[in-house]
Structure 1
Amino acid sequence: MPPIQNLAAWLPGVGKELQVAPASTPDPGENELLIETKAVAVQPAEYKIQEGILPFELTYPTIIGLSFAGIVVKVGAGVTRFKEKDRIVTNSAGTIRNDARFGAYQRYALTSQELTAKIGDVPFENASAISSFYAAVSALILHLHLDRPSSNPNPSNKAKKVLIWGASSSFGAFAVQLASNAGYAVVGVASAHNAQLVESLGAAHFIDRKSPSVVEDLTSLGPFEAVLAAADSASDQVTIGQVLAAHGGGSFLSTMGVRKGVQLPPGVTGHFVQYLDDYLKPENREFSRWVWWSLIEEGLIDGKIKLLPVDILGGLSTVQEAWNLEKNGQVSGRRLIIRPDID
């Protein structure tokens, strides 16, 4: 068999533009899979890595990108759940590993079987849009200590409200579904034009984030069992802080922690968690397998998980354009998808 030719979008360093160039094709090690990458879901965190906003300690040049769908080309020792030609979606945890071989923005990338799910006949582009699901599950269950989604949720959860700010983002959309399926009354906050989308995901209440009465509206709906800021600016955090303060204080999970210059009221705190770390801890192995091999896999194949609409932007040469769109706030209620195989 002739060697597989690989091509990647290389990040030369912090603050530098992406460069599309050849890459070596890796061999999978123990419990690893080599994937022919068919679709990569663009993540807002990626341009923040490029600009140094998120300070990952990476060895440059490197290939980043976490979430992708594709076809298993080769399996390593110890892999029992997947075989060649399986259609899958995965999160490679490449930035956490600091290993370019696991970066999603290349035609052939490595991943581990624990962070991989089969997708049946679901199109690759749609399956890759599941990318933020792992974070929503970790945030709600491991860190906010909410119940797992269930066909028979605890009836008492109906009286408990969960506030999800940024409910139309990918992260937020999955969080709305998870909390709703666990029986909680979800209060979703997003831009007005995404109201129908958020309500279709299971939110019991929708609040326009730009409404002049947003603080009063949210305060009247509280107090909240948990607060997740799935997409939050500095001004959003000020609003969340005011709402929590009106109920005597509290804390919220944020995508980046408390923004520079934001002063939260006394008794109110904001926190950042690196959710991928949860899936790499040995003590969470069964949790990880439940998320990927049961919750995600069954939810995708059975259609129980509602995915955001996707836009295919192009091949590896369009990754920088995708990051610029994310940076400029031009992506809302949809996921941008890169197809590495069309360059």
Structure 2
Amino acid sequence: MRAVIVNGFGGPEVLEVVETAVPEPAAGQLRVRVTATAVNPVDTAVRAGIFGGAGQPVGFGWDVAGEVDAVGAEVTGFAAGDRVVGLHYGAVKPLGAHAEYVVLDAAAAAAAPASVDDVRASVLPLSGLTAARAVAQLGLPAGSSVLVTGAAGVVGGLAVQLAARAGLVVTALAGAGDEELVRSLGAAHFVPRDGEPDPVDGVLDTAVLGERALGYVKDGGVYVGVHPGAAPAAVRGIRVEEQEVAADGAHLAELAGLVDAGVLDLRVARTYPLDAAAEAHAEQSKGGVRGRLVLVP
């Protein structure tokens, strides 16, 4: 099978598409024929060597959408031919989801949302789980005010939708041209990226603004970051938390249900063949992409 790897870190040009053996599922695992796999900011960080792994081949890709190809022993609830989505967790791994086949723990997979195709479904695992866990960590009651930074991005946009569904009054901080988009996702208020929001009960900081975002939280409020290790120090009695995603098939199934119910919109900017992974990485690195870039093996 073909898979995207690097043997040394750097820019998009270091990516290689290589031929390698099709992986075999162990007990409790599924083998999935990948039909679509999203490119995320974490992939560009892995390529740059931020997570380490020097001296060994490193694979790419966390998001899986496709068809179950084989099941290992002790797997229940899945059968060959099932459409699934899943999270292939881990920054440094020999093979990732940017491949023609991937092996996942069955507990990391869920039935794919029936209302969207595999390209759109591939956006859900990493971004959806990240946004959902971050909104839950806010721990705010309905009617509370929350600021979502980076609200026009994929994680930020999903956070806006989930926070609004939870009854939170959302202010979206995004680019000047993104007001219509973020309001369509459920934001009650909009502030341009260089503006100054009113104080809020909580901030969900997908743009990693750090101390600037913390400054918008009321005394005794809450700040939730989505990049582990990047949160600012707590001040003024503010509870500071960081979200770290985990492979959770049960939670992913709930999110797939919200997609089918029309609650969550999965945005795709464009697709690329697997052989054009370097081109997709280059586009991702430019920033400002409104929707995920998706590889189609």
Equivalent of residue 20 in structure 2, options 16, 19, 23: 23
SS at match of 2:34: strand
Identity in percent: 28
Aligned ranges 1:283-294 → 2 under 5 Å: 288-293=248-253
Deviation at 1:163, TM superposition (A): 1.2
1 CA distance for matches of 2:30 and 2:291?
A: 29
Q: 1:18 to 1:305 in 2, by over 3 A?
A: same
Hey, what does 1:296 align to over in structure 2? 255
SS at match of 1:30: coil
Deviation at 1:121, TM superposition (A): 5.4
Equivalent of residue 105 in structure 2, options 99, 112, 128: 112
Amino acid at match of 1:8: A
SS at match of 2:146: strand
1 CA distance for matches of 2:242 and 2:64?
A: 24
2 CA distance for matches of 1:227 and 1:58?
A: 36
Q: Deviations over 1:288-313 (max 9, x none)?
A: 354122x123123333321223311x
Hey, what does 1:83 align to over in structure 2? 79
TM-score, normalising length from structure 1?
Answer: 0.77
Aligned ranges 1:192-203 → 2 under 5 Å: 192-203=176-187
Hey, what does 1:237 align to over in structure 2? 210
2 CA distance for matches of 1:305 and 1:250?
A: 27
Q: Say yes or no: does 1:178 pair with 2:185.
A: no
SS at match of 1:138: helix
Deviation at 1:265, TM superposition (A): 9.2
Hey, what does 2:123 align to over in structure 1? 129
1 CA distance for matches of 2:82 and 2:232?
A: 50
Unaligned regions of 5+ residues in structure 2, if any? none
Q: 1:110 to 1:266 in 2, by over 3 A?
A: same
Hey, what does 1:187 align to over in structure 2? 171
Q: 1:299 to 1:264 in 2, by over 3 A?
A: closer
TM-score, normalising length from structure 2?
Answer: 0.88
Q: Deviations over 1:22-72 (max 9, x none)?
A: 01111111221111111111101111111133x255772021210021111
2 CA distance for matches of 1:58 and 1:75?
A: 32
Equivalent of residue 275 in structure 1, options 239, 242, 245: 245
Q: 1:163 to 1:21 in 2, by over 3 A?
A: same
Higher helix share: 1
Q: 1:249 to 1:49 in 2, by over 3 A?
A: farther
2 CA distance for matches of 1:304 and 1:266?
A: 35
Q: Deviations over 1:115-146 (max 9, x none)?
A: 222123521111112130011111121x3234
CA contact (8 A) 1:117 1:296 kept: no
Q: 1:62 to 1:263 in 2, by over 3 A?
A: closer
Q: Which has the higher contact order (CA 8 A, sep 6+)?
A: 2
Amino acid at match of 1:181: R
Amino acid at match of 1:76: G
Equivalent of residue 204 in structure 1, options 188, 203, 208: 188
2 CA distance for matches of 1:305 and 1:256?
A: 22
Equivalent of residue 39 in structure 1, options 15, 18, 36: 36
Hey, what does 1:71 align to over in structure 2? 67
Q: Deviations over 1:129-170 (max 9, x none)?
A: 2130011111121x3234xxxxxxxxx612x11111011111
CA contact (8 A) 1:257 1:271 kept: no
Number of aligned positions between the proteins: 292
Structure 1 vs Structure 2 CA RMSD: 2.5
SS at match of 2:69: strand
1 CA distance for matches of 2:239 and 2:286?
A: 27
The structure with more radius of gyration: 1
CA contact (8 A) 1:31 1:113 kept: yes
